Amino acid sequence: YASYTWLNEGHVTADHRDGYSPQLWLRLLGDERRLALSIGAGPYRYYDTTFVSKTGQVTDVHDWGGLFSAAAQWYFAAPWVLQLRYNYARTTTSINTNTLLLGFGYQFESSASPGPVPPSSYDLSTPRGELTLMAGNSIQNNFQSPHGVAYGIEFRERLTPYIDAVGTLLNEGDTGVVKRKGAAGQLALVREFLDHHADVGIAGGFYLAHDDFVNNNAQGIVVAGERTALLGLLSMTVTWRFTRYVHARVYWDRTLTTNGRDTDVVLGGLGFSF
C-alpha cells in the first residue's frame, strides 16, 4: 500500500525540521486481521530552519533525503486503529534523525470485519464548483516565528471523484519580515468519507507572489525592498459539509521559496458549492 506523511521532527538544537514523504509499504497481516506489521520507504522532502554556516543568518533550507519506516497497527475496534511507528530520516546535507510515534488512525471505509479495508469507488455526487472565503494566521519559518493575519478566497472545481483544480488569491499579511500576497494554481488529491459529508486532501502547485520584504544582510544592515517571484505552494485540507451546498474547510499551506522565506499559513473558511 502507499501513504503520504508529514513529519515534524521537533526542535533539535539549531535545526527545526519537518517534511513530506510519499512511501510504499509491505504489510504482514495476522490471521485474525487485528495486528499488522509494516515496513515502508520513500523520498523525504524536508524544510530545515537553521543557520547559514558562513554568516550566522537564519534560513530555511530545502533538500531531499530518504524516510525509512516500520510500523505496528492494532485494529482494535473498527474503524479505529492504534499505530506505533518508527522513522529514520536519512539525509546527506543535514542531520539524520530517529523518531518514535504513537497515534490513532481512522479508516474511511466501514466494515463488519476487523483489519484494513480496501477503498471503494466514488462518483461525482457532490457539486462540481466551490467558492470559499478564508482567514487565519501566517507564520514565518525562523527561530522567532513571527505571525501575521492572513486571508484569501478560493475557487475549486472537481475534475474527477479524486482530483480538484484549485485557484486561490492569498494575502499572507505582515509578519514584520514577510508581507506577501499573490495568486496560486494547484491540483489536489481528495478523498471523501462519511457518506460525502467530509473529505481530506493534499494539493501542490505554483504561487505567483509579490513580497514587500524587510531583511538583514550579511553585515547586519536592515534592507527593505520588493520582489515578484514564482514560488511553490503545498496545501493540506480537511472539509466538513453541513449541507450539500454549504461547507467549512481548514487549510494548512506551506509556501516554498528559494531564499529561505518560507511561511506556514493556517486558514479556516466557509464556502458554498454550486
Please provide the average confidence, as pLDDT, over all residues in the chain: 89
Q: Are the beta carbons of 224 and 214 closer than 8 angstroms?
A: yes
- 274 secondary structure, DSSP code: -
Q: Which fold has domain 129-273?
A: Porin (2.40.160)
CB count within 10 Å of CB 107 equals 16
pTM, entire model: 0.84
Q: What percentage of the chain exceeds 70 in pLDDT?
A: 91
Residue scoring higher pLDDT (72 or 218): 72
**Amino acid at site 43:** P
Overall average pLDDT of the 37-64 stretch: 85
Instruction: Tell me the CB-side half-sphere exposure of residue 15, using CA atoms within 13 A.
Output: 17
Kindly provide the b/e burial profile for residues 62-72, where b requires at least 16 CB atoms within 10 angstroms of the residue's own CB: beebbbbbebe
The DSSP code for 121 is P
99-152 residue pLDDT tens: 999 999 988 877 777 788 776 666 666 668 999 999 999 998 777 778 899 999
pLDDT surpasses 70 at 33 = yes
Residues 183, 188, 193, 196: is their CA dihedral positive or negative? Answer: positive
Which pLDDT tens digit goes with each residue over 255-267? 998 877 889 999 9
pLDDT at 172 over 80: yes
pLDDT (tens digit, 9 = 90+) per residue, 210-238? 998 776 555 555 667 788 999 999 999 99
How many CB atoms within 10 Å of residue 202?
18
Q: Where are the domains of the chain?
A: 2-106, 129-273
CA–CA dist 15, 237 (Å, integer) = 27
